[in-house]
Amino acid sequence: MTCLRSLAALLMLVSFGQAPLSADVTIREIVLNNAGDTKPEIERSIFVRGLSMRIDASHGTKHQTTIYDAGAGQIIVLDPGKKRAELLPAAQVASAVELKLPSHRVMTELTATGRSKELLGEPCEEYTFVITAPIGPKSQVLFSLRGSAWIARSGPGLEEYLTFARAADGTGAMIAFANKIASGTRYTAATALATDNIPDALFSVPAGWKTRTKTP
């Protein structure tokens, strides 16, 4: 059984309303994982502009960057140590995930608790969720994710985040989520939110880096 408690859960955010595109958004957050006796802390920065999202994650001396380009249908994984970028066709990645975790066998429940509070200056409502899925494409054994999320229906950056999430549904962070399910507890807390302009360079492969196309 896995418990996931999150202040900013993509699985929840994609459920609310239509929204126009208007600005860039940057989210800073910390992720605490508790699996067994270990409690690793990850610092994560999420940058969203239009149909592109970049996620920088740091854990100690380890750093990982993934860029999701929903417009081009491409996922870019940057390896700073080797100055190399791996390009993955998003449609092929989505198909590979679908084979391992068929979407028609994934069940979700979302329930409002009636509780509300202010987070980062914005009013948020609490929801509990249950996500049930098989451990394999043909398995009858199920695993379950249970937890709660505080969700803002309005505020800076929300419209931009939703616009990207809908365009990338099934090809972006959803895939990373599906591929990294593990036993334990995860707590995600947003620590800062900004709508300042984001440099174009953050969403592209750095000059001089090698690139290779990889198939899942």
Rounded distance between C-alpha atoms, residue 172 and residue 188, angstroms: 18
Expressed in percent and rounded to 5, the helix, strand and coil fractions of the chain are 20, 50, 35
**pLDDT by residue (tens digit) across 91-128?**
888 787 777 777 788 888 889 999 999 888 888 899 99
Q: Which of 18-22, 43-47, 116-120, 155-159 shows the lowest mean pLDDT across its residues?
A: 18-22
The CATH number of whichever domain residue 73 belongs to comes to 2.50.20
Position 211 in a domain: no
How many domains does the chain fold into?
1
Position 210 in a domain: no
Position 30 in a domain: yes
pLDDT band at 158; cut points 50, 70, 90: confident
Position 162 in a domain: yes
User: CA 176 → CA 156, 189, 201, distances in Å?
Assistant: 25, 18, 23
Range of the domain at 14: 2-194
The H or E element that residue 90 is part of is: helix 90-100
* Average per-residue pLDDT for the chain: 77
Q: What's the N-to-C CA distance of the chain in angstroms? A: 28
